[in-house]
Structure 1
Amino acid sequence: MTESDDSIRLFTEWLLEHQSALTDKILTAIWRDGIPTSPLATDPALSTVVRLETEMLVAQFLRGLGKRQQVPIQSHGARHLARLAALHGTPLEEVVSSYRIAHGVIQDFFFQAARESGIGSSCALSVLQFCCLQLLRQTESLIGLVTTEYADETEMIGSDENALRLQAVRSLLDEAGPAPELPGYDLSAEHVAVVAQGPAAATLAAFAHQCKDEAISVFTDRNVVWAWFSGSIGPADLHEAVAERAQRGCLGAGEPGKGLAGFRRSHREAQSAFRVCAWTGRRSARFADIEPEAIGLADVDATRALVRRRLGQLIGGSARHKSLRKTLEIYLASGQNARSAAFKLGLTERTVANRLQAARALLPPDTRLSSLELGLALRLLPLTAGRPPGAPGGVPLPSPVGRQ
């Protein structure tokens, strides 16, 4: 092995070790500057798909660098994302721009790798030249690939029933444009919206089909479904029919809303509920049950600051800290009634009192156990450690609130 080969190996090993951080940087830049208004960025289920495909594409490229492979990447993930962009009306120019943005992020990451991977200054220039050239070639190749795939998908949309229905739904969700009709579905009724991914999506689509004129559903990706239900079908019925039957997957449901405004609002709420599930690992959630978490995820940094400020040393991850927090949560949920909390926990009142005293000692000075902020901080604490699927780096999924 030559010195150059050894340097390439060290360089790519460092990149692979930091692959998750690189993916996070790429997605943050693309969602901010490339496709900020696309459903691929604003919808939590679709952005999860984008994240997973991007992670695999980055890994494929980095492994090829280490093997000095110079053949163009034939990425199924890149093809998938191109078709998804076309299906959701994301302009091809924005898709191409996103690859240019990713190119810039990766190139900057190369220079960081050259400094921190230990390859030595004597080899750094040649390694950077080789890797930057490969990056440029692969970027141009991928742009050609996705351009062709995008065009093929665009041609098919006009003859695909699901794609046409999705276009109509997206037009309804676009508050700036005129509202079209949805044949066979009463837009003036009261609606409950649902977003599902994975096996739960197939179950949701099947249930919507059974409901006939009281439901409409669209596949927004092969494993993602948006649906609306009207008439007598409420959130509890949906939970029983979909969430309890589906063994796997993720599902978020909005609250009932009447007319076109309710159709839109319930969908935004379903997206928010799905986002909380994706972040915390829950299988299903109804918006009414997770409103504080939905607000907390709109600004994760502010949520972390609130939790640290209100909980102090009680944040610790030991079994003792968790036990004290659980006792405090039950105590607050029981109206600060120690006897009721003891009954719910299966403990004596003395044990509960001792735990509350220990918890108080770990809280910031002058904290009142009755404060609203303390209860909120306890509830939001899981958000500070949660991560969306496929995102080891912990970058939040984009918030759908106020968009689409």
Structure 2
Amino acid sequence: MTLEDDLRMLAQGVEARLPALTETIVRRLREEVPEFYKLDDPVLGDAESDAIAASLRDILDGLVEGRTPPEQASDRILREARLAAQADIDLHALLRTSRVGQAATWDCFLEVADELLPDAGQRLPVLRHASQYHFAWNDRVAASIIDAYQKERNAFYFHGRDRKRRALVRDLLAGIPVDEAALGYSLRGRHLGIVVWGDAPEAALKQLTNTLGWQSLTVTGTAGTVLGWIGRPAGKASGDDDLSRLSLPSGTHLACGEYMNDVEGMRLTHRQAWQAYRVARIKGQPITWYRKVALEALVLRDLPAVRSFVRQELGPLYGPGERAVVLRETLRAYFASGQNAASAAAVIGVHERTVAYRLRSVEKWLGTSITSVRDELSVALRLSELFQGATEERDLTLQEEQAFDGSPL
């Protein structure tokens, strides 16, 4: 075999391990660069997953196609760099994620080479050529990451139209006193934390303030997301609104916290809106209130554990099969009706005997009575909507990040 054949064999061996390698990279990143995840931004999480996949694909393809390093990183890698800049992630943290990923990848190369090329005389030339390409690729990519990050940060923070307001909002969230006049927003009174994203966030924000007749304080977040507050100044006689009158532009979404008072309330409703936003990006509803997804927001802190719990509790009821979907729908109606079969039948439009038959089927599938696992089933059914609502399992894997412990600003 030629050197090129051996390099191709090495690349194919690593490719066969891509799922495990990706899992290793993700785990090591969260262990070794925790500061990169302090904001728990789902958009940045999506970009990171895309960047990992693009990096691995680029390295393997280049290894067998001449080993010429690229002029710059791929668009998906550069998108992560730009979003990291928008999220105010430190450049050193971003570069550390790249180094950790490269180290894990090279470990995999060494393991595969040891298995497929046991003869040292054959293995060493292959690893020498692979390492030369790998590190040349990393140097080129790192340089373009730094360039993209610095340009985006300069544009976003130093030339952005809301740069001064952003600094004041960051101080406010950090507990530092700010000047109301400079902020242009009253800190007293009633506030609602919001996150708006999608096709027309600015138009949605205008509709929102016009609907309530309240003031607003917003800044731009990652990928064009708009976040901040709408507020009712102290002394204005009007109550909270459930926004049922609001009609958002098509393709635009709104996540809301709960109505809160004064500065401390602003900080709390802001955190709630951000947590609701993380759930809403999966569920895809036009308007998502924190109070309606508080459980989902809590458990998203450990999504792998949630997935395991849901699958264990629902067993054969979990999945896209038609019968499983029908039985889950019946169970939800049954629990929502206070475990009254007649009421459940009326809700889903079937005969009471049909509900009874389906409930017996559930017990047969689960191998236990519904009553004995009522609480577990009820929670698992609610959480399963996160999984069933995603277009792909990948949509949820992208959200497996650490708990929110800061601000997206």
The TM-score, its normalising length taken from structure 1, stands at: 0.81
**In 2, distance between residues paired with 1:395 and 1:140?**
27
Q: Which residue of 2 aligns with 1:167?
A: 167
Q: Which residue of 2 aligns with 1:216?
A: 217
CA contact (8 A) 1:274 1:284 kept: no
Deviations 1:48-67 (A, max 9, x none): 33433444344334333332
SS of residue in 2 equivalent to 1:228? strand
The amino acid that maps onto 2:184 is G
CA contact (8 A) 1:254 1:273 kept: yes
Deviations 1:147-188 (A, max 9, x none): 34444455553343233333332332234x555656211222
SS of residue in 1 equivalent to 2:368? coil
Q: Which residue of 2 aligns with 1:246?
A: 250
SS of residue in 1 equivalent to 2:288? strand
Deviation at 1:207, TM superposition (A): 4.4
1:139/1:205 Cα in 2 relative to 1: closer, same or farther (>3 Å)? farther
1:213/1:331 Cα in 2 relative to 1: closer, same or farther (>3 Å)? closer
CA contact (8 A) 2:337 2:343 kept: yes
Q: Percent identity?
A: 26
CA contact (8 A) 2:219 2:226 kept: yes
Query: Which residue of the other structure, out of 303, 306, 310, is the alignment partner of 1:307?
Result: 310
Q: Which residue of 2 aligns with 1:47?
A: 45
**In 1, distance between residues paired with 2:109 and 2:396?**
18
1:363/1:152 Cα in 2 relative to 1: closer, same or farther (>3 Å)? closer
CA contact (8 A) 1:275 1:397 kept: no
Does residue 94 of structure 1 match 2:93? yes
The amino acid that maps onto 1:225 is V
CA contact (8 A) 2:282 2:396 kept: no
**In 2, distance between residues paired with 1:25 and 1:235?**
46
**In 2, distance between residues paired with 1:113 and 1:316?**
35
Alignment of 1:1-400 (within 5 A): 3-13=2-12, 15=14, 19=18, 22-36=21-35, 41-75=39-73, 76-114=75-113, 120-122=117-119, 124-156=123-155, 157-175=157-175, 177-179=176-178, 181=180, 183-204=183-204, 207=207, 214-231=215-232, 236-237=242-243, 240-242=246-248, 245-247=249-251, 250-280=253-283, 282=285, 284-315=287-318, 317-365=320-368, 367-368=370-371, 371-383=374-386, 391=394, 394-400=397-403
Deviation at 1:354, TM superposition (A): 0.9
Consecutive unaligned residues in structure 2, runs of 5 or more: 233-237
**In 1, distance between residues paired with 2:360 and 2:148?**
63
1:381/1:77 Cα in 2 relative to 1: closer, same or farther (>3 Å)? closer
Count of residues paired in the alignment: 396
**In 1, distance between residues paired with 2:35 and 2:8?**
36
CA contact (8 A) 2:279 2:297 kept: yes
Deviation at 1:400, TM superposition (A): 4.7
The amino acid that maps onto 2:101 is A
Deviation at 1:355, TM superposition (A): 0.8
SS of residue in 1 equivalent to 2:89? coil
Q: Which residue of 1 aligns with 2:235?
A: none
**In 2, distance between residues paired with 1:124 and 1:204?**
60
Consecutive unaligned residues in structure 1, runs of 5 or more: none
CA contact (8 A) 1:297 1:383 kept: no
CA RMSD of aligned residues (A): 3.6
Deviation at 1:252, TM superposition (A): 2.5
With 78-87 and 205-214 compared, the bigger mean Cα shift is at 205-214
The amino acid that maps onto 1:219 is T
The TM-score, its normalising length taken from structure 2, stands at: 0.81
SS of residue in 1 equivalent to 2:192? strand
**In 1, distance between residues paired with 2:63 and 2:287?**
40
Deviations 1:313-368 (A, max 9, x none): 43365322222221111111112221111122221111111111111222353551
**In 1, distance between residues paired with 2:139 and 2:245?**
46
1:47/1:188 Cα in 2 relative to 1: closer, same or farther (>3 Å)? farther
The amino acid that maps onto 1:147 is I
CA contact (8 A) 2:302 2:400 kept: no
**In 2, distance between residues paired with 1:142 and 1:329?**
50
Deviation at 1:19, TM superposition (A): 4.8
CA contact (8 A) 2:207 2:246 kept: no
Deviation at 1:115, TM superposition (A): 6.4
SS of residue in 2 equivalent to 1:194? strand
